[in-house]
């Protein structure tokens, strides 16, 4: 079952039926966003595995991407980003 990339709670979605203005019933964040898409990946260029997508700069807001497919969601994407930033900052800290 897909989960919200913002709050991590499960989303009751059948198939890939996500409207552009659908919101998470738990936190109110928009569901049709990059962070909730199965193509979202912090480790690739523009954070999107779909090579033909026009990737928006705001990954949290609803968008018109025609390649959107609901992903597993959860907090892994945000946690991973925070972990990467922490690791990068640690490289430049003076001891």
Q: Are 29 and 10 in contact (CB under 8 A)?
A: no
Q: What's the number of domains the chain is made of?
A: 1
Q: Are 39 and 61 in contact (CB under 8 A)?
A: no
Given this model, what pLDDT does residue 15 score? 72
Distance CA 77, CA 83 (A): 10
pLDDT digits (tens, 9 = 90+) for 29-67: 999 999 999 999 888 889 999 999 998 999 999 999 999
Q: Are 24 and 35 in contact (CB under 8 A)?
A: no
Domain membership of residue 21 as a residue range: 1-95
Alpha-carbon 1 to chain mean position = 15
Tokens of 71: 């992903």
* 11: enclosing H helix or E strand: none
């Amino acid at each position: 079952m897909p989960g919200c990339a913002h709050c991590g709670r499960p989303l009751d979605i059948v198939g890939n039926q996500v409207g552009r203005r659908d919101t998470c019933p738990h936190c109110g964040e928009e569901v049709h966003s990059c962070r909730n898409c199965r193509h979202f990946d912090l480790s690739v260029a523009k954070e999107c595995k779909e090579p033909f997508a026009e990737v928006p700069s705001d990954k949290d807001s609803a968008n018109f991407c025609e390649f959107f497919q609901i992903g597993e969601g959860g907090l892994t994407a945000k946690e991973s980003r925070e972990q990467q930033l922490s690791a990068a900052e640690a490289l430049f800290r003076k001891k």
